A = this chain, B = another copy of it.
């Protein structure tokens, strides 16, 4: 896959979906990978192709309490580091191995590093405290989308689409809010403030605003490369400090399968300090799947198909007020890719507010 950042962590699976004794077959940046969890609980990721006759290792079976993969075809065995440790036909050929990818587990997810393994460092994973399973009940989901992953970044970074795609969650106030986008180092923020709003009932309920009172609301999205977004949406009685308000938290990670396919990892979490947080997380997860898969996805897939492989900027997209965050994220990512390749960045020079 061309034009992607390699030396960065990609979300590969939610922790809860990687179970000892089960293999997960993923394609990431057009590379086939098999994920599994050793008997000790450590996640591992190997190239999903036996070096003998190229059969996907994920068609084989896990042995040794889940820590070793045996190829389905001729029984070669590989450990979690990719070393061939068993050959039914005799000695293990010298140096026989498959590529192993660095993996890390944190924030309820399994992360994979597709680039230079010497640069892999778990501290580079953007901190998402509200996905730490010790303190938060986390509901998670995965969807496959037939689209380039950056159209998904655009979707999350510009929430003015809510009014049109998600009438159920809509309030005109979202659109008329004060928008702001900002880059801080390698982080991009897209923020939206709505002051002194007389909100619809579901908003009142979500943020516990008494009848008759007005509300100040916010929608804050934080982006990190390659497509790791955290979203805080909250509200407080007008005039009161934000810290007194109520926040809903969700995470949105997009991992390129190939140039036309993206894995969408989404999560919503609730503090374990709250009664019923686990059930709330499960219910909210189930409630979110519908709009993501039935409202966002068809539109994004149709846009991707309409692009027919043409590069985003070559289509001279119209820039609207809500695009600040997504354009900043696209530019920053492009410059990081250029830096990684030792090239001079050539991102668009469209002026933003």
Check A87 against B54 for contact (C-beta < 8 Å). Answer: no
The chain B residue sitting closest to A154, CB to CB, is B53
A residues contacting the other copy or chain, number (CB 8 A) = 48
Check B317 against A49 for contact (C-beta < 8 Å). Answer: no
Check B164 against A299 for contact (C-beta < 8 Å). Answer: no
Q: Does A318 contact B (CB under 8 A)?
A: yes
Q: Does A22 contact B (CB under 8 A)?
A: no
Q: Answer whether A320 and B52 are a contact pair too, CB < 8 Å, given A299-B59, A302-B59.
A: yes
Q: Does A128 contact B (CB under 8 A)?
A: no
Query: How many Å from the CB of A281 to the closest CB on chain B?
Result: 29
Check B164 against A74 for contact (C-beta < 8 Å). Answer: yes
Check A165 against B317 for contact (C-beta < 8 Å). Answer: no
Check B93 against A318 for contact (C-beta < 8 Å). Answer: yes
The chain B residue sitting closest to A304, CB to CB, is B54
Check B320 against A72 for contact (C-beta < 8 Å). Answer: no
Check B160 against A88 for contact (C-beta < 8 Å). Answer: yes
Q: Answer whether A306 and B54 are a contact pair too, CB < 8 Å, given A160-B74, A299-B72, A319-B93.
A: yes
Residues of B within 8 A of A20 (CB): none
Which listed residue (B54, B70, B74, B318) contacts A161, Cβ 8 A? B74
Contact digits for A139-151, partner B, Cβ 8 Å, 1 yes 0 no: 0000000000001
Q: Does A198 contact B (CB under 8 A)?
A: no
Which listed residue (B51, B158, B164) contacts A318, Cβ 8 A? B51
Q: Does A133 contact B (CB under 8 A)?
A: no
Check A88 against B175 for contact (C-beta < 8 Å). Answer: yes
Contact digits for A176-207, partner B, Cβ 8 Å, 1 yes 0 no: 00000000000000000000000000000000
Contact digits for A51-78, partner B, Cβ 8 Å, 1 yes 0 no: 1111110010000000000111111100
Residues of B within 8 A of A160 (CB): 74, 88-89
Main secondary structure of the interface of A (DSSP, over half): loop
Q: Does A96 contact B (CB under 8 A)?
A: yes
Residues of B within 8 A of A317 (CB): 51-54
Residues of B within 8 A of A226 (CB): none
Check B322 against A74 for contact (C-beta < 8 Å). Answer: yes
Check B161 against A306 for contact (C-beta < 8 Å). Answer: no
The chain B residue sitting closest to A70, CB to CB, is B164
Check A73 against B165 for contact (C-beta < 8 Å). Answer: yes
Residues of B within 8 A of A315 (CB): 51, 54
Check A164 against B306 for contact (C-beta < 8 Å). Answer: no
Which listed residue (B55, B304, B307) contacts A302, Cβ 8 A? B55
When chains A and B are docked, how far (Å) is the Cα of A348 from the Cα of B266? 48
Interchain residue pairs A-B with the least CB separation, the first 5: A54-B303, A89-B321, A52-B318, A51-B318, A55-B303
A-B contact list, 6 entries, CB within 8 Å: A51-B316, A52-B318, A55-B299, A74-B320, A89-B321, A96-B318
